[in-house]
Amino acid sequence: MLEQSLAALSLATVNGDNAIPTKTLVFKPKTAKTATPIPVIVFALQSTSTPSGIIAKSVNVKEPRLAKDDLTMEFFNKSTKEFSIADLNKDSAGKIKFIIDSQILKSDDVLELSTESSKAALPAKTIVEFLKSIDIELVEVDFSAEPTPAPPAEKSKKDLLKEEKQAAKLEDAKLIGITVDKAKDFSSWYAQVVTKGEMLDYYDVSGCYILRPNSYAVWETIQDWFNIRIKKLGVKNSYFPMFVSSRVLEKEKDHIEGFAPEVAWVTKAGSSDLEEPIAIRPTSETVMYPYYSKWIRSHRDLPLKLNQWNSVVRWEFKHPQPFLRTREFLWQEGHTAHLTREGATTEVEQILDLYAGIYEELLAVPVVKGKKTENEKFAGGDYTTTCEGFIAATGRGIQGATSHHLGTNFSKMFDISVENPEGSDKPRVFAFQNSWGLSTRVIGVMVMIHSDNKGLVLPPRVAQNQVVVIPVGITAKTTPEEEKSINDGAADIESRLLAADVRAISDFRENYSPGWKFSDWELKGVPLRIEFGPKDLKSGQATVVRRDNGAKAVVALSELETKIPELLETMQKDLLENARKDFDNHRVVVEEWKDFVPTLNAKNVIVAPWCGDGDCEDDIKDSSAKKDNGEDEEVDEKAPSMGAKSLCIPFDQPTLKPDQKCIKCDKKAVNYCMFGRSY
């Protein structure tokens, strides 16, 4: 790979027997939450020590730390281990800072460039010429001349981190597989699982990702399931434009305030400047409601229930994360208007139940339904209901989907009103509105919960491929007749399953061993693997292996059409039950503040009596944040060190004791609220 890239740049390779080893390190400086990080690349001799203090000073950045795969994936589409200076090109200029060891600039030797999987040898001069040719500003640093910052008395934090990283490495990881441990380095694990599982790929524009068929199929299943059910409720699909004029966008001030810093603006078309900038919708209230006002003329036009499947854009400057925090994302947004409050509030819960259904019935993800606190509700609405999930590996809660009752706040703003059905002498009636949305973040939640160190685990109901059939046991000794019988048998299993509406595929690829294929399909999350070999052929059976727990079963070929769908349903049920156990075991009722933070730190979410006061809620958050302990990893407001937010006031409430006090303050508790660190 390395040789290829450099060859493409017309650099000749030379004999590298005596080449001097180098290293290419990527550092991430601490940046404001709203800024895109600028990676600092350090290219030095392997033997040169490159303390971060010197790096910070040389390129004027704060607290540079060794970057993780997600940063290098984002910028260079490579893991840190596979990244080298050969991945830089003219487009890198301006996006990175580059430090070069003065030893290299001075060198007349042949240097060795290496990544985990490849190696190349080149004269130092040639390398430097290449770097200059791509217009990158080279900051020369003589590391040996700089005073080394005093070593800390104890083991340095960096060393500690390195040791942790080392410990997170999986012992038996194969090259194609996941190389880090879910339990030890969750975020690198997640980045690997979604990319190697072919759910998603990193894209050239930061914060945007490609949804590949393995994840888009999950989304299509959700669409079909949800469409059938909302259409029964009388909701109709439609499509509104993605553009909003600035004038209209800014009409509902309270509402837009939350979105304004993240709105993407189109200001040019072709080479002409537009007369006024046009926004890309961050959500469609202001796009749709002026037309609701126009279309709703009489109480006979109510309820009006429209939904759309679309993409919205929120140009977040925070650390992006596949599925969970992306600048463009797919969702559905339903917007309905009702004559009565009851009509509206009934629907809010019907939709929330459907969202819970998507999580539990399709994605095998248990959720807790409840209401958001005033602090956390949708700005401009009356109240927000939510499904909250739980990621056991990190002990953090995650918001699943929300269904809002807007009251008459928007209908008054946009004049969505009708003549009073009781008579024109009575005041006009403003429509009661709801909005509700569920996004592709659901896919991220599903991945985080079920997947493991072998890769993706897909719940059978949403898996693009539910079964993979692999012929096995073919050796040098196998006769051509027997080989044919095994292959034909495997093909026959596939077609019978397809005919029985099981989404089956087979893998007859040559040049790959069955073992390699097993790992490959495990990585991609296929729920069941069917192995078919000489013994199976003889006994009229097939060997079936579950992806989630590796359990093997033998199924008689005569029973394929009944047993395989059964096994798929059993696995679906088990995934949900196991995840539910995790959530139940880690949702802890806490009634005394002294137990709050320790319970939280033990990777739990907490259900606690609470006074309902917003200031107290803020206080709980502040008091449960870990103090800055100088961790080497970059942090943002979603990091594990942050305090516990209110996740929801669960509909399903423990009984409050009489005179129960709030967990934090001295006021009387009004209900139990679920708190936790969250995504």
The verdict on whether omega for the bond into residue 427 sits within 30 degrees of 0, i.e. cis, is no
| String of contacts with a second copy for each residue 33-62, x by CB under 8 A | -x----------------------------
Under the binding rule (CB under 8 A), the answer on residue 311 touching a second copy is yes
Residue of 51, 290, 514, 565 that binds a second copy (CB under 8 A): 290
Under the binding rule (CB under 8 A), the answer on residue 428 touching a second copy is no
Q: What distances in angstroms separate CA 641 from CA 30, 31, 437, 599, 601, one per listed residue?
A: 16, 17, 29, 14, 9
**Total of chain residues touching a second copy, rule CB under 8 A:** 64
Comparing CB distances to a second copy, the nearer of 272 and 424 is 272
For residue 180, give every residue at least 6 positions away whose Cβ sits within 8 Å of its Cβ, in sequence order, or none: 168, 169, 170, 173, 188, 189, 192
What is the C-alpha R_g of the chain?
29
Structural tokens at position 419: 């003549």
Distance between CA 96 and CA 102 in Å, rounded?
A: 19
Name residues contacting a second copy, limited to 322-351 (CB under 8 A). 327-328, 330
* Burial degree of 340 (CB within 10 A; 0-12, 13-18, 19+): middle
The torsion angles phi and psi of 67, rounded to 5 degrees, stand at -75, 160
Under the binding rule (CB under 8 A), the answer on residue 94 touching a second copy is yes
Comparing CB distances to a second copy, the nearer of 211 and 544 is 211
The least distance separating a second copy from the CB of residue 493, rounded to whole angstroms, comes to 20
Q: What is the DSSP string of 58-97?
A: HHT-EEEEEPPHHHHHHHHSS-TTT--GGG--GGGTTT-E
Which one, of 591, 593, 601, lies nearest residue 654 by Cα? 591
Under the binding rule (CB under 8 A), the answer on residue 205 touching a second copy is yes
Under the binding rule (CB under 8 A), the answer on residue 248 touching a second copy is yes
Comparing CB distances to a second copy, the nearer of 29 and 407 is 29
- What long-range pairs does 119-128 form, CB within 8 A, spacing at least 24? 119/2, 119/16, 120/2, 120/3, 120/6, 120/13, 120/16, 120/86, 121/13, 121/14, 121/15, 121/16, 121/19, 122/6, 122/11, 122/13, 122/14, 123/14, 126/11, 126/12, 127/11, 127/85, 128/100, 128/104
Contact 4, 84 (CB under 8 A): no
At residue 288, the 3 state secondary structure works out as helix
The least distance separating a second copy from the CB of residue 305, rounded to whole angstroms, comes to 10
The residue written with tokens 């034909």 in the block is 488
Under the binding rule (CB under 8 A), the answer on residue 32 touching a second copy is no
The least distance separating a second copy from the CB of residue 630, rounded to whole angstroms, comes to 30
Under the binding rule (CB under 8 A), the answer on residue 260 touching a second copy is yes
Under the binding rule (CB under 8 A), the answer on residue 91 touching a second copy is yes
Structural tokens at position 10: 């017309």
Name residues contacting a second copy, limited to 489-528 (CB under 8 A). 509
Comparing CB distances to a second copy, the nearer of 143 and 259 is 259
Comparing CB distances to a second copy, the nearer of 508 and 651 is 508
Which one, of 307, 211, 308, 317, lies nearest residue 264 by Cα? 317
Looking only at the bridges linking them, the beta strands covering 97-101 and 40-45 are parallel
| String of contacts with a second copy for each residue 604-633, x by CB under 8 A | ------------------------------
Under the binding rule (CB under 8 A), the answer on residue 261 touching a second copy is yes
Structural tokens at position 180: 């880090």
Comparing CB distances to a second copy, the nearer of 310 and 578 is 310
The least distance separating a second copy from the CB of residue 262, rounded to whole angstroms, comes to 6
For residue 631, give every residue at least 6 positions away whose Cβ sits within 8 Å of its Cβ, in sequence order, or none: 157, 641
Under the binding rule (CB under 8 A), the answer on residue 238 touching a second copy is yes
| String of contacts with a second copy for each residue 385-424, x by CB under 8 A | ----------------------------------------
Comparing CB distances to a second copy, the nearer of 112 and 419 is 419
Residue of 126, 187, 245, 543 that binds a second copy (CB under 8 A): 245
Under the binding rule (CB under 8 A), the answer on residue 679 touching a second copy is no
Residue of 166, 271, 475, 629 that binds a second copy (CB under 8 A): 271
Under the binding rule (CB under 8 A), the answer on residue 258 touching a second copy is no
Under the binding rule (CB under 8 A), the answer on residue 456 touching a second copy is no
Chain contacts with a second copy (rule: CB under 8 A): 34, 77, 91, 94-95, 201, 203-205, 208-213, 216-217, 219-220, 236-245, 247-248, 260-272, 275, 277-278, 280, 290-291, 294-295, 300, 306, 310-311, 313, 315, 317, 327-328, 330, 464, 509
